[in-house]
Amino acid sequence: MNAKHLFKHFVIGFCGVATLALTPVLDTTPAFAHGERSQEPFLRMRTVNWYDTQWVGKSTQINDVTELRGKFHLSEDWPRAVVKPTRTFLNIGSPSSVFLRLSSKVNGTPMFVSGPMEIGRDYEYVVTLKARLPGHHHIHPMFAVKDAGPIAGPGGWMDITGKYEDFTHPIKTLTGETFDIETMGTATGIMWHLFWAAVAILWVGWYMIRPMYLVRARVLAAYGDEILLDPIDRKFAAAMLVFVLVVVTVGYLAADSRHPVTVPLQAGETKVKPLPIKPNPMTVEVTHAEYDVPGRALRMTLHATNNGTEPLTIGEFTTAGIRFTNAFGATKLDPNYPAELVAAAGLTMDKDAAILPGQTVDINIESKDVLWEVQRLVDILHDPDQRFAGLLMSWTESGERLINPIWAPVLPVFTRLGA
């Protein structure tokens, strides 16, 4: 019986240890990105429409200051299932604190606290970053909505070279002191952790050995707790209470006298004005949209009118940070935009000619690329709310860009009709 038991334990233990030992050995596939594709497509397409994202300084040295900047439009087609953006925060999605965020501004307003933003409006952000940890990092702009969670924007790679040991972050306080905030107070923090751990061990240890747990449990069950405490225990408890209160008070007073001028953490609300609405001579409506499952293409019928004075040419459809362009739109692409998020010949139309002033046209437009699958946007077909939203970009003859938010329900089709 005993031998059998021993053997069982040995097997269980061996399997556990083997699993632990082999996990790091077998799991050698490099981790690309960090799971942003698993975020639901309705969140990525119908909440924040990111555009003009720029990863300035794709390669930086430790201590170098660089920027992540861009714009976003809050979709009119905001899903019913997602809490409205009444409290939002602009953040950076990165694998740990590889950069230090020096500042973030939305439409020029400092965004160190959160605040409301308006659906249907546009915002421009600039986040200033200081390189902290060396490596090859995937960096996203990220929009956090209270009760809905963080919504990741497009990811781009940023490299940091050098050694972490060289990282410094000296700051000058309002009272004129200068110190390195990266190391400031580290020793004090460690000291207090060790101190309270020692106090906790002493407290638990004292009662643990007077008497041990099992004996104590039996006495407790049989006779109640009164006889478990002798007069020395009570004196010890009282002494500990006084000791802890004295340490906390003295510690507080000492810190207060060393740093008499402090500013509490700011917990207010930002009031960010959205970008002014640019007059847009083009009106666009999606009258029909379908997703061709085997063809990996979103097909839309656009009803567009040019109310302006210049011919307009459609060049790009963008959603979830992915950009579908035609030959014309490709010439307008920022060459630094991550190539894995661009379908450079992914946009085709049955009418390529410019829309003339005063003209109303119905255009069949197709955004076709394997990126629908790779980026797992096709998962909308499994949603109870099958819709898409994105931005349609067109240009006037003089080169001005017009942005039209578009959205519509999507009908899945499994065969090419009439083909």
Residues in the site for Cu ion, rule: CB under 5 A?
A: 33-34, 36, 138, 155
Assigned token pair, 204: 């638990």
Least gap, CB of 33 to Cu ion (angstroms): 4
- Closest of 387, 361, 247 to residue 303, by C-alpha: 361
Kind plus residue range of the DSSP H or E element containing 217: helix 213-223
**Which CB, 270 or 375, lies closer to Cu ion?**
375
Quote the least distance from Cβ 158 to Cu ion, whole Å: 11
Altogether, the residues listed in the chain come to a count of 419
- Residue 34 or 401: which CB sits closer to Cu ion? 34
Task: Give the nearest distance from C-beta 42 to Cu ion in angstroms.
Answer: 19
Kindly tell me which of 34 and 84 has the beta carbon lying closer to Cu ion.
Answer: 34
Q: Which two tokens stand for residue 242?
A: 């006084």
Residue among 79 and 156 whose Cβ is closer to Cu ion: 156
Give residue 346's region: left, alpha or beta (phi > 0; psi -120 to 50): alpha
Which residues, in sequence order, are CB contacts of 269 under 8 Å at separation 6+?
Answer: 87, 113, 114, 115, 116
Burial letters 9-35, b for 16+ CB under 10 A, else e: eeeeeeeeeeeeeeeeeeeeeeeeeee
| Nearer to Cu ion among residue 10 and residue 32 (C-beta) | 32
Relative to beta strand 360-368, strand 297-306 is: antiparallel
Nearest to Cu ion of 73, 138 (CB atom): 138
Find how far residue 366's CA is from the centre of its chain. Answer: 30
Which CB atom, from 55 or from 372, has the smaller least distance to Cu ion? Answer: 55
- Quote the tokens at residue 269: 């609300």
Taking the complex as a whole, how short is the minimal distance between the CB of residue 95 and Cu ion, in angstroms? 8
Write down the least CB distance from residue 90 to Cu ion, Å. Answer: 17
CB of 319 to Cu ion, least distance (A): 18
Distance of closest approach, residue 144 Cβ to Cu ion, in angstroms: 16
Q: List the one residue out of 142, 104, 108, 110 whose CA is nearest residue 276.
A: 108
